[in-house]
A and B are shown apart, each in its own frame.
Chain A
Amino acid sequence: MSGQATLKEAGLTALLSMVLALPLIGLETVEEQGGLTLDTRLLWVLLIGAAVFAGRLGLIAWRSRKTVGTSTAAARRASALGETMHGIMPWIAGAAILFAVIMPFLPFANRTVVDLATLVLIYVMLGWGLNIVVGLAGLLDLGYVAFYAIGAYSFAMLAMHADFTFWMALPFAGLFACAFGVILGFPVLRLRGDYLAIVTLGFGEMIRIILLNWYHVTGGPDGISGIPRPGLFGLEFTRNGDPAFHEFFGLEYSSMYRLMFLYYLILILALITNWVTLRLRRLPIGRAWEALREDEIASRALGLNPTAVKLSAFAIGAMFGGFAGAFFATRQGFISPESFTFIESAIILAIVVLGGMGSQVGVVIAAVIMIGLPEWFRELQEYRMLLFGAGMVVIMVLRPRGLLSKRNPTIRLHAKKAGAMR
């Protein structure tokens, strides 16, 4: 790029940023007697313009250095990195599971850490569930949180009205969510891409608004409280439980046990989700999902019924959302529609996309980044969201197809014979 063109581009960028900055930063409301008045901060706008100008120049310089012949090399390096990453992936996954299992016993594991890990695992499970719908079947679902909500409310209401324990209600929570997945799926799955996304988004909001307004059933904005805690084969995690966990094992009472139990519970639920997903991927149904994602017309020409295939993905994804919802309800002990807003759907979808569509390990990494880090850096207060946004941008620039985007064939003809249906 010639010097003049560079200057021109940087100038334009700076101008654009100043236009944007003018209302956002250039105007300030000041409280005075008798109300608010506007104050201008033109110097700030100019400073921002200058900063963007310099930044843009730097970026152009950096890029031009890089593009001369090295871009293919960089791409090759990136793909080679992907290849090695790919080879050691089973080891990483094994190590991660091992770490997850012993984590609560490690010296740094205090209440906060275990609690945070539980939260991350909820999102891992939701990510894995949504991965079936978005990553494998390629159906953009912006209302996944609806199934999470249905799972949570199913358990809460079964517990309130029918005295169900967590373990009794868990299958029903999954079943109800699954049924809602089918009910929603029937009319909307003929839609594709953006249209499907809009309808699922609407569905997510509908469920939330119904929960909010159906006061005498769901408690409306007050939510449902006093949801029973889960027990381990009837052992309760309370000080005066009958029978109580700590008494049964002759331990000193500590509320830590309950947190650890919840942690292991969600770990097991998440691992089951993962196992089922990996298994289904190798079955005809999983291949049909991926085929449909790749080319719906070709799938139809091969005798796949697109509606049935999509519906199965939607229903199974919804089911896992429902399980996670039931767990969420029992962990919190209190649920309200507040917990199931659109932003939750967006975060779960971001986890799937960031992790690399269809990648199970990618979802874990993305969940740690999306949920773990913002909680971890709470001391940074409002800046953590800024960092969070910047991190997302960096990942999307460096790895546009997600952190781990390489796909493993579900069956092999040559070599690695063990890969064929273990």
Chain B
Amino acid sequence: MTQRQTQKPLLNVEHLTMRFGGLTAIDDLSFQAESRQITAIIGPNGAGKTTVFNCITGFYKPTVGMLTLHRQDNDYLLERMEGFDIARHAGVARTFQNIRLFQRMSVLENLLVAQHRTLMRASKFSFAGLFGLPSFKAAEREAVELARYWLERVKLINRADDDAGDLPYGDQRRLEIARAMCTRPAMLCLDEPAAGLNPRESAELNKLLLGIRDEHGIGVLLIEHDMSVVMEISNHVIVLDYGRKISDGTPDAVRNDPAVIRAYLGEDEDAEVAL
């Protein structure tokens, strides 16, 4: 495939297939996600959405397929990289469906762990840090400033010194996003960020995600069940069913796609005749 484009997409997924033994969780999936866009992956339960995320973020090694992330004129082949290298070098950050914060560490500490690599280098792998050299202190101040910025964005600045595990559910969701953003990613993968949020919280989440997209110029990849979130903020929606892509386009196009309606609402005889 040599379709030269004027600009390479941020993430190019080609022929991704993931099999677990006899079960094919993802079947020949190809799609692209762009910078400064919110790309949503939707689909019924068990459609393979989280598996796609796990392949992108290196938790699974895909059976077949090529995942290319384009960042600052470098191409990273994600399927060949270790999970932590993907986060480090390719700049893919993620959140989890079941929130995974460092519960017994403070909110601020959570955000500093996200900046581990920068700080570790500044501490000269702990030798400079051990004796509190000024260069390390400056780096740490900078890291705290970045954390402060994100805490203000997600409105958690007042809880910075509390244990992450003590926050209410909605706050924990936002903190997880802030933590992912503190890694300074090129792409942010959010696994059901609106799950368990009330309407007001999910409206706030929309605003936050639009802000991340527009102000920070990164690509957002989103798995979501809440259609008010998906339809309102996505630029591009991909619909999966049984591991296959059944639709791909703008929210409006997808909403009216008969294949999508069939997957979500089931088939009845009349509909089949009508088609």
Contacts and interface: CB of A to CB of B under 8 A. Distances in A.
Interface string A273-291: 0001001100111011011
A301 B87 contact: yes
Contacts of B137: 421
Interface string B136-174: 010010001001100100000110110100000000000
A222 interface: no
A290 B105 contact: yes
A294 B163 CA distance: 12
Nearest to B100: A298
A298 B88 CA distance: 13
A302 B83 contact: no
Nearest to B118: A284
B57 interface: yes
A233 B151 CA distance: 54
Interface string B201-217: 00000000000000000
Contact of B100 (A276, A287, A297): A297
Contacts of A305: 82, 84
A79 B57 CA distance: 40
Contact of A410 (B59, B109, B117): B109
Interface in B117-132: 117, 119-120, 123, 125-126, 129-130, 132
Given A412-B108, A413-B108, A283 B130 contact: yes
A216 interface: no
B272 to A, nearest CB: 43
Interface in A397-422: 407, 409-415, 420-421
A295 B96 CA distance: 12
Contacts of B103: 294-295
Contact of B160 (A283, A304, A413): A413
A270 to B, nearest CB: 18
Contact of A300 (B83, B158, B183): B83
A276 B130 CA distance: 7
A305 B117 CA distance: 10
Among B83, B93, B113, B119, chain A packs the most CB atoms within 10 A around the CB of: B113
A16 B157 CA distance: 56
Q: How large is the interface on A (under 10, 10 to 19, 20 to 34, 35 or more residues)?
A: 20 to 34
Among B59, B88, B102, B137, chain A packs the most CB atoms within 10 A around the CB of: B102
B144 A411 contact: yes
Interface string B97-117: 000111111101100111111
B129 A291 contact: no
Contacts of A290: 102, 104-105, 109
Contacts of B57: 301
A306 B108 CA distance: 21
A279 B100 CA distance: 27
B36 interface: no
A34 interface: no
Interface residues of B, number: 48
Nearest to A283: B129
A302 B183 contact: yes
A13 interface: no
Interface string A75-93: 0000000000000000000
Contacts of B130: 276, 279-280, 283
A303 interface: yes
Given A294-B103, A411-B144, A302 B179 contact: yes
A287 B183 CA distance: 15
A302 B114 contact: yes
A46 to B, nearest CB: 49
A284 B183 contact: no
Contacts of A283: 119, 123, 126, 129-130
Contact of A413 (B96, B120, B148, B180): B148
A287 B113 contact: yes
Contacts of A291: 102, 105, 113, 116
Interface string A318-349: 00000000000000000000000000000000
B144 A413 contact: yes
B108 A409 contact: yes
Contacts of B84: 300-301, 303-306
B245 interface: no
B129 A284 contact: yes
Contacts of A294: 101-105
Contacts of A301: 57, 83-84, 87, 93-94, 96, 100, 180
Nearest to B96: A298
Given A284-B119, A285-B126, A421-B137, A295 B109 contact: no
A303 B105 contact: no
A287 B101 contact: no
A409 B100 contact: no
A302 B113 contact: yes
Contacts of A411: 106, 108-109, 112, 140, 144
Interface in A252-276: 276
Given A280-B130, A304-B84, A421-B137, A295 B101 contact: yes
A302 B105 CA distance: 15
B102 A303 contact: no
B112 A284 contact: yes
A294 B57 CA distance: 20
B115 to A, nearest CB: 8
A17 interface: no
A414 B147 CA distance: 13
A138 B182 CA distance: 25
Given A301-B93, A304-B116, A409 B87 contact: no
A162 to B, nearest CB: 29
Interface string B69-88: 00000000000001111011
15 contacts: A279-B129, A287-B112, A290-B104, A294-B102, A298-B96, A298-B102, A300-B87, A301-B57, A302-B93, A302-B116, A302-B180, A303-B87, A305-B82, A411-B108, A411-B140
Interface of B: 57, 59, 82-85, 87-88, 93-94, 96, 100-106, 108-109, 112-117, 119-120, 123, 125-126, 129-130, 132, 137, 140, 144, 147-148, 151, 157-158, 160-161, 163, 179-180, 183
Given A291-B105, A297-B59, 5 more contacts: A284-B129, A287-B113, A288-B120, A409-B106, A414-B161
Please give me the 3 A-B residue pairs with the lowest Cβ-Cβ distance, nearest first.
A303-B87, A413-B160, A303-B88
